[in-house]
Amino acid sequence: MLRPRSARSLAALLVLLPGILSASCAAPAREPEPAAPPARDPRSLIGDEIVVCGQRVHIGTPVVLWTDVDGYDGTATDYDADAPPEFMDRSSGRRYTPGRVTRGGEVLVEPDEDDPAVLAEAVDLFVVHYDVCGTSRRCFRVLQDLRGLSVHFLLDVDGTVYQTMDLRERAWHASQANTRSVGVEIAQMGARSRGAMHELAEWYTEEPGRTLLTIPERYGDGGVMTPGFQGEAARPGKHRGALHGNEYLQYDFTPEQYEALVKLIAGVARVLPRIEPDAPRGADGAVLDRALTDEEYAEFSGVLGHYHLTRGKIDPGPAFDWDRVLYGVRRELR
């Protein structure tokens, strides 16, 4: 005789039995298709090291070296055969100076120097430029193939850093400051006078509370490392400011650029500690909006804009957030 619990169990089994038998005769359920893996950001496949006197230095943000497959080689002596004709002067030759040599010919750092401490005695400036090209690929072609110039770093719209040569080399980017400086060209179309802002219409779209950056179709993907990158200005709208006594308007840089720039400057300053984490300032504590005098230039060590070196330049422009960058660098250096 069944006990009450066993009786209830048997009754439940008899109720479920038809469904169990039906399921056992049916075709086995198909395994769910595995989800397609998300597209990998190519920047995750590259390192975070810059090269200083042949030594690798980690800076904590993606860096493509000139020796990498996708790198830009500032030490090349020929032109890029794949560049459009307007970016080729069809000349060859060096666009940089091996080692650190003064205009008077004094050698401060030998071309084969392998001790970053020696370079640290000679370099005390970090110069910030914008490229007026929009993307790092176009910037490199203009510098290398059209203008016969160079710079140590390119910083693309997605925050990818490209190093074009060892920091021990004297790049040609900042005239009188070349011997004592490291330079970066940030991909950005730059500042304009009020009447010329229409020139930026194909690059920027203003929406309520945001400003979008789009690479014009004629440039394809622009060579940007992140697939399908959609840029957005760190702060929306046009930013107004005076430089050398003239007013300019400019859209802001991308958050990715600011974050990478902070890591880059801090990383360089760790190995070249004479580069102070500050910019030229006036008596009121504000970053100067003019070129330095000869005396100010001789005494200054730190981070400065191209416009601090000459009245003929206005980069990195009035939208450049000096406080954001310098605060971030000081935080990284703690």
The predicted-structure confidence for 281-314, as pLDDT tens digits, reads as follows 999 999 999 999 999 999 999 999 999 999 999 9
Question: Which parts of the chain are beta strand (E)?
Answer: 49-52, 55-58, 63-65, 96-97, 100-101, 107-109, 125-130, 153-155, 161-163, 170-171, 181-186, 204-207, 210-213, 231-232, 238-243, 246-251, 302-305
158 found inside a domain = yes
28 found inside a domain = no
* Domains held by the chain: number: 1
Of 81 and 149, the structure prediction assigns the larger pLDDT to 149
The predicted-structure confidence for 104-140, as pLDDT tens digits, reads as follows 899 999 999 999 999 999 999 999 999 999 999 999 9
125 found inside a domain = yes
Parent domain of 321: 43-190+253-333
For the chain, the 3-state helix, strand and coil shares in percent, each to the nearest 5, are 30, 20, 50
For tokens 């046009």, what's the residue?
Answer: 238
92 found inside a domain = yes
- Confidence band (pLDDT; 50, 70, 90) for 90? low
295 found inside a domain = yes
229 found inside a domain = no
State the CATH number of the domain containing residue 122.
Answer: 3.40.80.10
31 found inside a domain = no
pLDDT on residue 24: 37
198 found inside a domain = no
